[in-house]
């Protein structure tokens, strides 16, 4: 069994590096709020470096239940997340150049941990925004935590949380990395 990655695995790694770095420019996660008076839905769309959607309108509504306003400033992650992703991509390219199996294994572990941390981070924010409600808000609501994925009901809004293209690219990146390691093992 060779210690070096095969040519095929290397190519797969390069592709996964490209996919990972391009994921910066795609939305990763989002939430859609639908209510009778907003049948078209209001959106929060999260990119690694920015937020999009009807944030101001959502903030306008959220003040009724005493939720803190969302803004790009309130998520420091948005400032360094692109660099982390960029760094990871560079590591993948480095692994591909060195064709190091060991490094790839470490990378996959790092990726797994990073991914879990990312999910935990989203969850942490959801808990923070859903439970740390201003007690003097006009509408008193039991603290709530919307799911990372799936449907929830808050007051008159139905929320849909979903992963988007960016995280799909991450998923493909991860599969490609595991696959290239698996190819090597087979030899």
Partner 1 sequence: MKKIVTAISGVVIGFLLATVFFADFTDIGPKSVADSNEKSNSEKVYVPFGEKDEYYLFASGGHSGQMFIYGVPSMRHIRTVPVFSQDSATGYGWDKETKEMLGGYTWGDLHHPAFSETDGDYDGKYMFATDVGNSRAAVMNLETFTVKDIISIPNTSGPHCAMFVTENTEYMFLPTRFAVPIGHKYEPLDDYSEKYRGVMSAVTFDEKNEKLGIAYQIALPPWSYDLSDAGKKMSKDWAVITTYNTEEATTNLEINASQADRDFILLFNWKEIEKMVENGQYDEVEGQKMIFPEKHKGAMYLIPVAKSPHGVDVTPDGTRFIASGKLAPAMTVFSFEKAFKAIENKEFAGERNGIPILNYESVMEREANPENALGPLHTQFDDEGMAYTTMFISSEIVKWDPNTGETLDRVPVQYSPGHSVAAEGDTVSPDGKYIVALNKIAKDSFLSVGPSHPESMQLIDLSQEKMEVIQTAPVNPEPHYAQMIKADKINTITVYPKDEANPNAVYSLEDTRIERKGNEVHAYGIAMRSKFVFDVNTERPDVIEVNEGDKVTIHLTNIDLDQDITHGFAINGYDLNIEIQPGQTNTVEFVADKAGTFPVYCTNFCSALHQEMTGYLLVKPKN
| Given 52, 56, 97, 132, the residue binding partner 1 (CB under 8 A) | 56
Segment interacting with partner 1, rule: CB under 8 A, options 7-15, 27-35, 52-60, 71-79: 52-60
Integer angstrom CA distances of residue 52 from 34, 87, 123, 134: 17, 24, 19, 25
Question: Least Å distance between CB 14 and partner 1?
Answer: 45
Determine the Cα–Cα distance for residues 158 and 156; give it in Å rounded to an integer. Answer: 7
Select the residue interacting with partner 1 from 8, 25, 50, 64 (CB under 8 A): 64
Q: Please give the C-alpha separations between residue 175 and each of 33, 163, 165, in angstroms, as whole numbers.
A: 31, 17, 15
For residue 158, the surrounding DSSP H or E stretch is strand 157-163
Give me the least distance between CB of 6 and partner 1, in Å please.
55
Using only C-alpha atoms, what is the Rg of the chain?
20
Among 15, 22, 35, 54, binds partner 1 (CB under 8 A): 54
What is the full DSSP assignment across 80-146? HHHHHHHHHHHHHHHHHHHTBHHHHHHHHHHHHHHHHHHHHHHHHHHHHHHH---TT-SS-------
Q: Tell the smallest beta-carbon distance from residue 146 to partner 1 (Å).
A: 21
Single out the residue of 8, 60, 106, 134 in contact with partner 1 (rule: CB under 8 A).
60
DSSP string, 50-75: -EEESHHHHHHHHGGGTPPPP-GGG-
Tell me the C-alpha distance between 52 and 159, whole Å.
Answer: 16
Q: Counting contacts by CB under 8 A, is residue 77 touching partner 1?
A: no
Selected range binding partner 1 among 54-62, 105-113, 144-152, 177-185, rule: CB under 8 A: 54-62
Q: Rounded to the nearest whole angstrom, what is the least distance from the CB of residue 76 to partner 1 in the complex?
A: 22
Q: Of 13-21, 23-31, 53-61, 90-98, which segment contacts partner 1 by CB under 8 A?
A: 53-61
Segment 119 to 158, residues that bind partner 1, using CB under 8 A: 138-139
**Which residues here bind partner 1, judged by CB under 8 A?**
54, 56-57, 60-61, 63-64, 138-139
């Amino acid at each position: 069994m060779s210690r070096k990655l095969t040519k095929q695995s290397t190519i797969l790694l390069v592709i996964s590096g490209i996919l990972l770095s391009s994921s910066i420019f795609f939305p990763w996660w989002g939430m859609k709020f639908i209510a009778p008076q907003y049948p078209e839905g209001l959106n929060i769309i999260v990119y690694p470096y920015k937020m999009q959607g009807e944030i101001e309108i959502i903030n306008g509504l959220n003040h009724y239940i005493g939720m803190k306003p969302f803004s790009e400033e309130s998520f420091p992650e948005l400032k360094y997340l692109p660099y982390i992703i960029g760094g990871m991509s560079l590591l993948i390219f480095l692994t591909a150049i060195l064709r190091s199996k060991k490094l790839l294994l470490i990378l996959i572990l790092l990726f797994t941990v990073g991914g879990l941390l990312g999910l935990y981070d989203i969850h942490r924010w959801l808990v923070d925004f859903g439970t740390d409600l201003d007690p003097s808000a006009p509408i008193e609501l039991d603290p709530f935590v919307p799911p990372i994925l799936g449907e929830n009901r808050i007051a008159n809004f139905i929320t849909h949380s979903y992963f988007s293209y960016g995280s799909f690219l991450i998923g493909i990146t991860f599969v490609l990395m595991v696959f290239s390691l698996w190819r090597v093992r087979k030899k």
